[in-house]
Structure 1
Amino acid sequence: MKKEKRSVLVTFWIIIFLTGNTLYLYHTFRTEELYNSLIFVNPNIDSLDIFNLIWVVGITDFVLKFFTISIKCIILVLPRILLAFKSRGKFYLVIEELSQLFRSLVPIQLWYKYIMGDYSANSYLLSGVLIILYSLCKSFDVCGRIGALRKALKVLCSSQTFGVRASSQQCMEAGGVCAICHLDFSDPVILLCQHVFCEECLCLWFDREKTCPFCRAVVIDTLRCSKDGATSAHFQIY
């Protein structure tokens, strides 16, 4: 029995809802061909002023967020035989970092088109300066995203253990009940601080925290904030 109560039906409903919204959005604005932005092609917009630019970038960013959430939902409902529960946080982290990297790359061609279209006819110098400034800012941003993705891949490839398998005697001494889920122990693990918890409960806990749930002793050194499946809410405007 799952300690983390999840409804497969609700998860699939979320996927259908996000997919339906995306299809409806692109169908409504099909003449503008907004989906081109997803493959680094300019949409079919005659005049790309600042308002149209923010509009296209915003829609594309939200669609990519929907896509990221849908992939995480699929990971969530995978059976244990395909993906161990304790490994899912690592996949959430990699998916999130990949998403943020792709979201930072998508607006580049739109901003180049806007800068060159608005300023090149009036001032080649101003257009060149803006292109250089934008390219520098974007380079730092992309390099940071690539670095974060490399760290996430290292986490994915590494094996992390929180403790050792607890014996029946140790489980009895701990009261026979997990302090996190308040149910009988399932695959119990004892930490260095000698506190016993379910392995699945610990995986969920250490996706958000780095200390023992009971005594707050530090168990892991680094906390990856996206391992709990959270999707970044920031708006990738540039």
Structure 2
Amino acid sequence: MQQIARWIEQILPFSLLLLVVFIRQHFQGFLVTIWIAVVMFKSNDILRKQTALKGERKISVLVGITLVFVIHVFGVYWWYRNDDILYPLVMLPPKEIPPFWHAIFIIMVNDTMVRQAAMVVKCVLLMYYKNSRGRNYRKQGQMLTVVEYLLLLYRALLPTPVWYRFFLNKEYGSLFSSLTTGLYLTFKLTSVVEKVQSFFAALKALSRKEVHYGSYATTEQVVAAGDLCAICQEKMHAPILLRCKHIFCEDCVSEWFERERTCPLCRALVKPADLRSFGDGSTSLFFQLF
């Protein structure tokens, strides 16, 4: 153990020196990647807060947020307009074989920017459903979920042209390059099929008219329950009767089931373990590198 510790102690200064040189060589790439990632994380937080405001959202604020998002996306792509960064957006491989770190950079920029662009679509949906309640509020959550699953499918495809060009390198020999390319496309197909299935499941949920965790309560059932929602402590609007027989406003219980699967009162399991919902306006923050 002492020998290992001494060996690490000896190579650590040289490793740090190499790291500094590496960062200097790719300094602009590091800055751009950090910048767009920070903007994307902040944008996700802003969008979730706007979604939570429901009817209190202001159209002027949403328009301003949308314009900032659009300018940011166009600004980044205008800056790199002469690079190969745009080709993968339409599923075309780069003209030249990208070095490994440049391939990573292209993928990270595109992966972040398409999420930023999808946030523009989500802002438009929030403007459209600004005063929605009951069924329309549930429809808003379903639409946001469909947009996110379509985005996840597109993001799964985005790295494919870059890695296809990277692996199909004749310098390694035709057999080796063909083998690695074929293996990559095989692995990729598995993940893409999963994303396609999730997207169609989200579409199916959107077309479903009934509430899949209960049914609309009758007037007699609402009166018997006291006509007071236990979540918002107000008179019920579009009341939903859960399978456990408790009744809540559709808005309140829909928002509850964005996070939970059990009844707010008795904790009985009500919502089936199906697709993850993105009805709160959130975006998946994990990078799709491969």
The aligned amino acid for 1:130 is T
Q: Secondary structure at the match of 2:98?
A: coil
For the 8 Å contact 1:176–1:184, the answer to whether it is kept is yes
User: Equivalent residue for 2:145?
Assistant: 93
Relative to structure 1, is the Cα distance of residues 10 and 177 closer, same or farther in structure 2, using a 3 angstrom cutoff? farther
Write the distance in 1 (CA, Å) between the matches of 2:104 and 2:224: 60
CA distance in 2, matches of 1:193, 1:214: 10
Deviation at 1:213, TM superposition (A): 1.3
- Structure 1: give runs of 5+ residues left out of the alignment: none
Q: Which amino acid counterpart does residue 136 of structure 2 have in structure 1?
A: A
Tell me if 1:149 matches 2:199. yes
Give the Cα separation in 2 of the matches to 1:54 and 1:152.
30
Q: 1:7 to 1:127 in 2, by over 3 A?
A: same
- Where do residues 16-165 of structure 1 align in structure 2 (5 Å cutoff)? 16-32=67-83, 34-43=85-94, 48-79=98-129, 80=132, 84-117=136-169, 120-161=170-211, 162-165=214-217
Tell me the residue number matched to 1:212. Answer: 263
State the SS of the aligned residue for 1:163: strand
State whether residues 208 and 227 of structure 1, in contact with CA within 8 Å, keep that contact through their aligned partners in structure 2. no
| Conservation of the 8 A alpha-carbon contact between 2:146 and 2:203 | yes
**What is the TM-score normalised by the length of structure 2?**
0.71
| Runs of 4+ that moved beyond 6 A | none
Tell me whether 83-92 or 107-116 shows the greater mean CA deviation.
83-92
Using a 3 Å threshold, how does the CA distance of structure 1 residues 197 and 222 change in structure 2: closer, same or farther?
same
Q: Comparing both structures, which one devotes a greater share of its residues to helix?
A: 2
Stretches of structure 2 lacking an aligned partner (at least 5 in a row)? 1-52
Inter-partner Cα distance in structure 1 for 2:93 and 2:190:
23
Larger CA Rg, structure 1 vs 2: 2
8 Å Cα contact 1:188-1:197 kept in structure 2: yes
SS in 2 for 1:225: coil
Does the CA-based 8 Å contact 2:237-2:250 persist in structure 1?
yes
Quick one: which amino acid aligns to residue 234 of structure 1?
Answer: F
Q: 2:90 and 2:145 mapped to 1: Cα distance?
A: 23
Query: Are the counterparts in 1 of residues 198 and 275 from structure 2 also a CA contact under 8 Å?
Result: no
Structure 1: how far apart are the matches of 2:248 and 2:54? 12
TM superposition score normalised by structure 1: 0.85
AA matched with 2:60 = L
State the alpha-carbon separation in 1 of the partners of residues 255 and 274 from structure 2: 12
RMSD, aligned α-carbons: 2.5
3-state secondary structure, aligned to 2:171: coil
Query: 3-state DSSP class of the match of 2:270?
Result: coil
* Count, aligned residues: 232
Return the offset for 1:4.
5.9
SS at match of 1:194: coil
Which residue identity lines up with residue 92 of structure 1 in the other structure?
L
Letter in 1 for 2:163: W
CA contact (8 A) 2:94 2:165 kept: no
Point out the more displaced range, 5-14 or 192-201: 5-14
Task: Tell me how far apart the structure 1 counterparts of residues 148 and 232 of structure 2 sit (CA, whole Å).
Answer: 27
SS at match of 1:197: strand
